[in-house]
Chains A and B, each alone.
Chain A
Amino acid sequence: MKRLYADIHRKTGGFDLNVLIDSDAARIGILGESGSGKSMTLKSIAGIEPVDSGHIEVEGRVLYDSSDRTDLKPQRRNVGYMFQNYALFPTMTVMKNVMAGLGKQTEENRNKAADMLRRFRMDGYEDKLPGELSGGQQQRVALARIMVTEPSLILLDEPFSALDSYLRDRMQVEMLGMLEDYKGQVVMVSHSRDELYRFSEELFIVSEGHIIRHGETKSVFREPGSAVAARLTGCKNFSAARTLNDHEVEATDWGVTLKLDREIPEDITCAGYRAHNFSPVWGERQENCIKFDLLRVDDLPFEKNYYIRTLDEDNPVCWFVQEEEQRVIEKCGLPDYLRIEEEHVLLF
């Protein structure tokens, strides 16, 4: 039975953590900024960070329960934890690192560890020290070291943040492959929406110690539910907003009244729009359009970022244009307006 249930409450030095994670998904993502409590949540599940109250259960086994004072030591939780810096033991060889969690140095354990290293394509490195390995190799050893103990849950704490960007992309794909045969649940914590979009089936967004949105990953990205969550999922443009009537909302910072087919709730205060979703318009102004008043352009390797002046000087609208669209602009010149498409409008 695959189910992670973690109801965690903790007060520590001005920070309150109150999260509930209840999921039967095989790959669970936790998205949040640094300091949001996502790492603390993970550490609490593993038992290496104390909890004030709550209930933690993995595969039907209670690891922590404040009502009957259950609090298993991390050693007995059987939860694998991969640290941001991998935490390989620096004075032990790769082989000894992988065997560290197996207890006795028996022939059987040695074979187990060797098999695991082979599976992670690290055979031949048995006698190397962690310091002699590349970042990607260290990550593979760290994962082998966890997998060999057959944990009932694996926790990945910002697993790719220590890698440079080329390796990061490669290891993300590799990680999915390496975890393919693993039958238990895996929780990954990250501040990167791309990593989690790729990785997780169910996504929890945490902000200031609370879960502010959770659900199936793609639907969370489609409907983040709040401005904070939208920002974390990568939404770049926000404007103060107020409802005019059932089908009209005024985005005051953008200086545009949006006419929408859907019914608009009365208490709207904020509108969001993703930077990739604008449609360029040449010539006549159409409905739901922002005047294209260019502030500056950022040239990136595969896209251009246009910043468009709005009524709020400090809050320009960004329009991210990918190569194909860029070719159209080169042909037709800069557009006169940007159209906001109803289906992509986020209202909070």
Chain B
Amino acid sequence: MNGFIELAKSLDWSPLWISLKTGVVATVISFFLGLWVARKVIKKDYRAKSILDGILTLPMVLPPTVAGFFLLLIFSRRRPFGIFLNDTFNIQVVHTWLGCILAATVIAFPLMYRNARAAFEQIDANLVYAGRTLGMSEPAIFWRIVVPTAGPGIASGTILTFARAMGEYGATSMLAGNIPGKTGTVSQRIAMVIQDGDYVTAGFWVVIVLIIAFFAIFLINMITGKHMKNVRKW
């Protein structure tokens, strides 16, 4: 136990903060983008919906390294768009924290989008119609009726997105790399120390990740569980 505390004291905690920061920012982006896109998609007809849905869900199904490949293709400083971003806006994506955020957002976004979409599709259209006939503006209907009513689904989507964004490894390592104190996330740190055979440090990080993951799942069950009380067992 003392050894554990010693380790905790001497440890470089930067991966945790980088992962948390990345997770929070990627979740905030995915949250608003996911709600917005989900709203757009459910308005489309069946065909357009299937195609859009496929494209938007792809990052979740593909190996993250494939997403990383495409991200590099776009943002590499040797490629047109990357050069454009660098020269015009002085924005660098590769090997920066921005790269961490981008990779995590791309990989985690589908979870937010899919959960939001499923929750929106459960909404009774009459609620929206009622809001309209009562003279409520569309944004008011969306934020005051639709989102709260879809609350449990959106909340669980948000938490899953956060957990996924925080743990992202494949695309992040390709786009942002593993620069300690800058882009070195917890997942990358675990992989790194394992390569050095340092199972103690790796185990320490694994415990922290487990705690966060368990807490996330617990939170989801707390939120959605309220609505499950009346479900009959079978």
B-binding residues in A (CB < 8 A): 43, 46-48, 73-81, 83-85, 87-92, 100-101, 103, 145-146, 149
Contacts and interface: CB of A to CB of B under 8 A. Distances in A.
Given A43-B129, A48-B133, A75-B135, 7 more contacts: A48-B129, A78-B135, A79-B133, A87-B130, A88-B130, A91-B145, A92-B148
7 contacts: A48-B132, A74-B132, A79-B133, A87-B129, A89-B131, A92-B145, A92-B148
B149 A90 contact: yes
Given A87-B126, A87-B127, A89-B127, A81 B133 contact: yes
B138 to A, nearest CB: 8
A158 B45 CA distance: 29
A100 B149 contact: no
Nearest to A75: B135
B134 interface: yes
Nearest to A155: B133
Given A101-B135, A145-B134, A74 B149 contact: no
A91 B126 contact: no
Interface of B: 124, 126-127, 129-137, 144-145, 148-149, 151
Given A87-B124, A89-B145, A90-B149, A149 B129 contact: no
Contacts of B148: 91-92
B131 A100 contact: yes
Contacts of B134: 100-101, 145-146, 149
A304 to B, nearest CB: 40
B137 to A, nearest CB: 7
Contacts of A91: 145, 148-149, 151
Contacts of A74: 129, 132-133
Contact of B136 (A48, A87, A100): A100
Contact of A46 (B124, B133, B149): B133
A81 B56 CA distance: 37
B142 to A, nearest CB: 13
A77 B136 CA distance: 12
Given A75-B136, A75-B137, A149-B134, A81 B151 contact: no
A146 B134 CA distance: 7
B186 to A, nearest CB: 36
A241 to B, nearest CB: 44
A47 B136 CA distance: 14
Q: Which has the most chain B C-beta neighbours within 10 Å: A79, A83, A84, A145?
A: A83
Q: For B129, B131, B132, B134, which residue has the most chain A Cβ atoms within 10 angstroms?
A: B134
A92 B133 CA distance: 17
Contacts of A77: 133
Given A46-B133, A48-B132, A74-B132, A83 B126 contact: yes
Contacts of A78: 135
A75 B132 CA distance: 5
Contacts of A75: 132-133, 135-137
Contacts of B132: 47-48, 73-75
Contacts of A84: 126
Which of A77, A101, A149 is the most central at the interface, judged by chain B CB atoms within 10 Å of its CB? A101
Given A48-B132, A79-B133, A101-B135, A89 B126 contact: no
Contacts of A47: 132-133
